Homo-oligomer: A and B are copies of this chain.
Amino acid sequence: MKGKIKIAICGYGNLGRGVEKEIVRSEDMELVAVFSRRNMLEIASNVPVVNMKDIGKWTDKVDVVIMCGGSATDLPVQVPAVAKMFNTVDSFDTHAKIPEYYKAVNESAMSANKTSLISGGWDPGMFSVMRTYANAIMDQGTTYTFWGKGVSQGHSDAIRRVAGVKNGVQYTIPVEEAMERVRNGENPELTTADKHLRECFVVAEEGADKAAIENEIKTMPNYFSDYNTIVHFVSEEELKANHSKMSHGGFVIHSAETGNGNKQIIEYSLKLDSNPEFTASALIALARATYRMNKSGQYGAKTILDVPPALMSKKSSEELRKELL
């Protein structure tokens, strides 16, 4: 084997730590640095912690940077900047803003002959792949996406940014009867609120206006305003004891008819004990694909829909044909 693919992590939260933990399983890759805005960061592995302002010195020491910041404020600023110097992979997950995000990242990456894989977690990410395959094969059908039960980091972060909130966790919960109707091929019309509940456990700061907090959460655009949202106020102790797991999951179900009324049902599901560790594993496989795409001259912003599955695998095409095809 030639030299290993040299990976840097940018951002050291749950996702960054997940990448650090899981990358040791990929013997064709090695972690070489953690980029952070914080100076005195303690990390688990024995690689340098580099302040973000100095990352320009690392351009010839890193093949791909896995961007592990948040979608709300970190990635829209960081990725267009970093993509001018490095190949990048990220899990930007604000669906409505993907077109403008793509445009900004694409301009940066194209200007430097770099490759940036955007929105590569599981939704967007693997779920997008499933929607695309199902639609490509039977676009006369309808695709339904259900999330949960699980904690959404993005939605929990959103709760925690509300004034007066000390801490909070948000569960997305799929509605079982709605899923059964889809699996039966009933092809129902379902709003997002028909498909999900959003259940929030919130720790308020002392003296905060709980009614105002509840109202601000429930009316927050993109995150909560379209959903049936339940807000519970709990103590910090209760939140820690009962709501600290980062499990998640969901379902993509496509229902279509072919011929004369033959029902065809495709279903994909994830049941994840650790959302950040699964996302980290997906981003690592996509970093491998991104490195290969850049080597073959495919520059600019890409999504997982542009990636042949084989490019994400350690196995050669010959091994894949023999063992997994």
Please list the residues of chain A having a beta carbon within 8 angstroms of any beta carbon in chain B: 18, 21-22, 25, 95, 98-99, 102, 119, 124, 126, 128-133, 135-140, 143, 183, 258-259, 262-274, 277-278, 280-282, 284-285, 288, 303-310, 312-315, 317-318, 320-322, 324-325
Contacts of A95 in B (CB 8 A): 325
Contact A22 B133 (CB under 8 A): no
Contacts of A21 in B (CB 8 A): 258-259
Measured in the bound complex, the distance between the Cα atoms of B130 and A186 in whole Å is 26
Contact B278 A273 (CB under 8 A): no
Contacts of A320 in B (CB 8 A): 132, 303, 305
B262, B266, B324: the one contacting A277 at CB < 8 Å is B262
Contacts of A136 in B (CB 8 A): 285, 288, 309, 312-314
Measured in the bound complex, the distance between the Cα atoms of B305 and A126 in whole Å is 15
Contact A135 B315 (CB under 8 A): yes
Contacts of A285 in B (CB 8 A): 136-137
With A21-B258, A259-B18, A262-B273: A303-B325 Cβ-Cβ less than 8 Å: yes
Measured in the bound complex, the distance between the Cα atoms of B325 and A325 in whole Å is 25
27 sample A-B contacts, Cβ–Cβ < 8 Å, listed by A number: A22-B258, A22-B259, A99-B322, A126-B133, A128-B324, A132-B309, A132-B310, A135-B315, A135-B324, A136-B313, A136-B314, A138-B281, A139-B314, A258-B281, A262-B272, A263-B271, A264-B270, A264-B281, A265-B269, A265-B272, A267-B268, A268-B269, A303-B321, A303-B325, A305-B320, A307-B308, A308-B308
Contacts of A307 in B (CB 8 A): 308
A interface, over-half SS: helix
Name the residue of chain B whose CB is nearest to the CB of A184.
Answer: B271
Contacts of A304 in B (CB 8 A): 309
**Cβ distance A288 to chain B, nearest Cβ, rounded Å:** 8
**Cβ distance A173 to chain B, nearest Cβ, rounded Å:** 17
Measured in the bound complex, the distance between the Cα atoms of B25 and A278 in whole Å is 37
Measured in the bound complex, the distance between the Cα atoms of B45 and A136 in whole Å is 23
Q: What 6 A-B pairs come out closest when comparing CB atoms?
A: A262-B273, A136-B312, A258-B277, A262-B274, A136-B313, A305-B310
Measured in the bound complex, the distance between the Cα atoms of B166 and A178 in whole Å is 45
With A259-B18, A262-B277, A278-B264: A129-B133 Cβ-Cβ less than 8 Å: yes
B265, B306, B321, B322: the one contacting A308 at CB < 8 Å is B306
**Cβ distance A244 to chain B, nearest Cβ, rounded Å:** 13
**Cβ distance A24 to chain B, nearest Cβ, rounded Å:** 11
